[in-house]
Amino acid sequence: GYQIKLETAMALCTPNAKRAALIVVDAQVDFVDEKGSMTTKDARSIIPLINKLKKGVKWTVVVLSQDSHPKDHISFLETHANDPEARETGMKKVGNRVQKLWPTHCVKGSEGEKLYSELKVDPSDVIVKKGEDKNVDCYSAFYDVEHKTSTGLTKILREKRVSDVYVCGLTYDFCVGYTALDAAGDNFNTFVIEDATRGIQDHEINDMKNRLNDGGVSLIHSSVLLSDRKDDMRQKAAEYFEEKRIMPLLQKLTALLVHEKPENPRQFLIEKLKQMKEAKISPEDFSSSLMTDEDLAVVFKTMDVNDRGEISTSQCKQGLLSLGVPEGEISLDMQDKTKMYSVEEFKKMAASGLKTI
């Protein structure tokens, strides 16, 4: 097998090692074409790279988002033509927030709404349209700016058991950035592919980078994803993990530690691995998860510190993460402070999440 340290393998996993989604944000005629109503500088140059990313990585799903606005959308400067202050400032007070105003763009059914012709669209690509409500703007491919309405993208990704999200397209300082922030907010491991996106203004791009950093989003270069697989340490680690069924093994060892609470965990694990080797347990003997009902109940018990027979949302999430369930698989409402979960509910969520590993 490959001689790779466990720490290295876990740190260098790639999209091929996990269930990853590529989100291409708003690669549309009005933003890319030189005759578009809101052409982004140098936007056309990233289309070949996006095509290369789509083809060169084994994605679980590729999502293409599209602005699709009614002709009188609230974000259009022309919608507020009779408001002198809005025309002068390019801003409009809407409820408790200030709406930035733009030239009319991506009107539903128009040429400008279409995906740019040089972008290669595959039958398996998922199209997500946004900004269809004339009364609220929608930068993100996940939610409107008020976070009241979802596009359904989170549900799509969870149904496909996605854990990692990679975002590219237009524009860095608005729709790409807000899409990444919402992905991270929904507990997906999130990355922005910097050389596969373009922005409008440098100072706003820098502001968005700071927000992404604060929001837990990683910034990467496409070369990380497109490097030669033959000598790619990350891919070797991914293949090694899959071949040797490392994650189920780690789950079982974790459960044994919880059960036995040995004084010398290192020596305990070495002995257990020796026993497995002597018993000639092969990867084919591993089920999709080696965690038994009893194992899951023990993990629940460690979270149920007050012995009440139920745990809070945050305790439930902590327990699922400790089992190795990907964050993208955990669909708990972290804002609900009153919801409690029984051991059976916890085991059901754990069993479902562990199927992805």
* DSSP string of 226-276, one letter each residue: HS-GGG-HHHHHHHHHHHHTHHHHHHHHHHHHHHH--SSHHHHHHHHHHHH
Q: Confirm whether 4 is domain-assigned.
A: no
Look up tokens 């999709």; give the residue.
288
pLDDT: which is higher, 288 or 301:
301
3-state DSSP call for residue 13?
Answer: coil
* pLDDT confidence band for 215 (50 / 70 / 90): very high
Give yes or no: residues 213 and 78 share one domain: no
Catalytic residue among 13, 106, 168, 175: 175
Domain of 197, in residue numbers: 13-69+106-228
Residues 304 and 220 in one domain: no
- Same domain? For 184 and 49 the reply is yes
Residues 41 and 144 in one domain: yes
Among 104, 126, 149, give the residue marking a domain's end.
104
Q: Are residues 179 and 303 in the same domain?
A: no
21 and 55 in a single domain? The answer is: yes
316 catalytic per annotation: no
Give the per-residue pLDDT at 294.
79
Catalytic residue check, 175: yes
Q: In the predicted model, what is the mean pLDDT of residues 220-245?
A: 69
The radius of gyration of the chain from alpha carbons, rounded to an integer in Å, stands at 24
Q: Does 238 reside within a domain?
A: no
The reply to whether 120 and 207 lie within a common domain is yes
- The residue annotated as part of the active site, out of 26, 67, 182, 295, is 26
Tell me the pLDDT tens digit for each residue of 178-201. 999 999 999 888 999 999 999 999
Q: Which amino acid is at 309?
A: G
- Rounded to the nearest 5 percent, the helix, strand and coil shares of the chain are 45, 15, 40
Let me know whether 111 and 220 are in one domain. Answer: yes
Same domain, yes or no: 303 and 266? no
Name which residue leads in pLDDT, 313 or 51. 51
pLDDT range class, residue 142, cuts 50, 70, 90: very high
310 domain-assigned = yes
Task: Please tell me which residue in 92, 129, 130, 236 is annotated as part of the active site.
Answer: 130
Residue-wise pLDDT for 8-55, tens only, equals: 333 344 565 568 999 999 999 999 999 999 999 999 999 999 999 999
Q: Which CATH number do you get for residue 328?
A: 1.10.238.10
159 and 223 share one domain? yes
- Which residue blocks in 62-195 are alpha helix, DSSP H? 84-89, 153-159, 177-185
Q: With bands split at pLDDT 50, 70 and 90, how would you rate the model's confidence at 254? A: confident
Question: Is pLDDT of 284 > 80?
Answer: no
Whether residue 95 sits in one domain with residue 181: no
Total of domains in the chain: 4
Final residue belonging to a domain, choices 49, 82, 104 = 104
What's the pTM?
0.68
Residue 53: inside a domain = yes
Domain with residue 30: its CATH number is 3.40.50.850
In a domain, 26, yes or no: yes
127 and 37 in a single domain? The answer is yes
108 is catalytic: no
Residue 237 inside a domain? The answer is no
Residue 163: inside a domain: yes
